[in-house]
Amino acid sequence: MKKTLVALLIVVLALATVALERTFTFRSRQPQAAPVAVEPLDTAALAQRLAGALRFKTISYQDSSQFDAREFDGFQRYLRTTFPRLHAALKLERVNGYGLLYEWMGSEANLAPIVLLAHQDVVPVEPGTESRWTEPPFEGRITGGYVWGRGALDDKGSLVGTLEAVEHLVTAGAKPRRTVYLAFGYDEEVGGRRGAARIADLLASRNVQPEFVLDEGGALTTGLVAGISAPVALVGIAEKGYVTVALTAQAEGGHSSMPPDETAVGLLAAGITRLEHHQMPRAIRGPTAAMFDYLGPEMSFGPRLVLANRWLLGGILARRFGATPQGNAMVRTTTAPTVLQAGIKENVLPSSARALVNFRILPGDSVTGVVEHVRHAVHDARISVEPLPGTMTNASAVTSVDAEPFQLLARTIRQVVPEAVVSPWLVVGGTDSRHYARLTPNVLRFVGAAMGKEDLRRVHGTDERVGVRAYAVVVRVYLQLLKNAAL
């Protein structure tokens, strides 16, 4: 008995020693960045020019016949008149209608180019919610220190901000050593196949192999990461995959006065319940593991100890972190039943019932793996399980945080916002950048816009806006990035 106790004590002490050692050697990964002179920018004028861009209803509708070419024509005319020097100095190609590809030719042909992405289109305003906006969504108003309107964050702030940075540099007489492409799709919100995918095709056909591409997908967040009060620059190094699975239950139909033991609706409901109870397993790996490696050392002792010792506490961490919908989405492939279809009349038993379940796939899982998991979890031969055609995308590759492009962006962010903590992260939605993945292993997703907790719902929601000063930071990040990477 005594021997067992002593042995146990030794094991506990050994574990504690290792855990403490790992905690104390869990060093900050924040890059050292030499401070830079602040470029004089007229923030009010920047805000005015962004506001002007928000007045065009460049909306992507699910039904592509609603595409309004006049709005896109007007928007592109606006860009030409607003950024005249850039348009004189850069080559512009139109790709597949409204895609825009600018080329700012570098002087050193042996340097791989960089590609800055953004999209011209925005999501519609949900009918019936227009009156809830503090300022109308398409009038580009500036009040209370904010630029209001659909696209302020997603993604015209990024598009116009990129143009501002280049216009500024062209005006100052700068000439890049490395070629810079600006590539602006026009249907990102409905998949990007007509815009970004075609621009990527064109670059691929010319054998362009970028040093990196930079798209939206991460932001300068405040209050989103518990335990860190400084702004946290979340740089997307991967994005989740996507598949929607159709479940169809078959049973005998007929008159509802004499129902059989088992009905199509009942079978389907039970199948969905089993599926919700058997979620894909949680895992801390890839981009989420990298995020903990970057955030952990910046935290106080308690959380730092947990994050430094995932070999011991990973299970608890995944459970705790996965307790919120946002955290859950970072540590597993999520399961979301979205559509139910059955029945035509209240006194007729339907012979089939169908449900659609949307999965967002964690890097490391796959479309095939998800479909297999669903079959296994539903476990009923009377329910067919089929992925919906056109909805299958595996998770992206994971960009290395040790490669120069991520490090360069991290340094750039800290030059512009010295107090920021930079961290890699996993983008849970999709971006146009996935169309460029075959051109380069270095796909980065970040816009320097400040985002608080309550700003998340503004993206695609009501009262989308960006702070006038926050927008100037967006421009400064692009400016500094161009200086660091291309000049």
Q: Which residues bind Zn ion (CB under 5 A)?
A: 154-155
What residue type is 99 in one-letter code? G
DSSP string, 277-302: HSPPPP---HHHHHHHHHHGGGS-HH
State in angstroms the smallest separation of the CB of 322 from Zn ion: 26
- Amino acid occupying residue 262: E
H or E stretch including 77?
Answer: helix 69-82
Phi, psi of 25 (to 5 degrees): -100, 10
Nearer to Zn ion, 122 or 170 (CB): 122
State the nearest-atom distance from the C-beta of 118 to Zn ion, in Å.
8
Min dist CB 260 to Zn ion, Å, is 49
**Alpha carbon distances (Å) from 479 to 1, 27, 223, 304, 476:** 69, 30, 26, 34, 5
CB of 377 to Zn ion, least distance (A): 32
Residue 178: phi and psi, rounded to 5, are -100, 140
Written as one string, the DSSP assignment of 426-486 is: EESS--GGGGGTTT-S-EEE----EE-GGGGGGTTSSS-EEEHHHHHHHHHHHHHHHHHHT
Which residue number, 187 or 298, has a Cβ lying nearer to Zn ion? 187
Closer residue to Zn ion in complex, CB, 154/187: 154
Closer CB to Zn ion, residue 49 or residue 156? Answer: 156
Closer of 308 and 459 to Zn ion (Cβ): 459
Angstrom CA distances, 348 to 210, 255, 257, 269, 342, stand at 60, 5, 9, 18, 11
Contact 359, 245 (CB under 8 A): yes
Q: Of 120 and 248, which has the nearer Cβ to Zn ion? A: 120
CB of 119 to Zn ion, least distance (A): 6
Q: Which residues are catalytic?
A: 121, 188
147-153-158-163 Cα dihedral, nearest 10 degrees: -20
Q: Which residues contact 90 (CB under 8 A, 6 or more apart)?
A: 102, 103, 104, 166, 170, 182
- Least separation in angstroms between residue 188's CB and Zn ion is 5
Contact by Cβ (8 Å): 454, 482: no
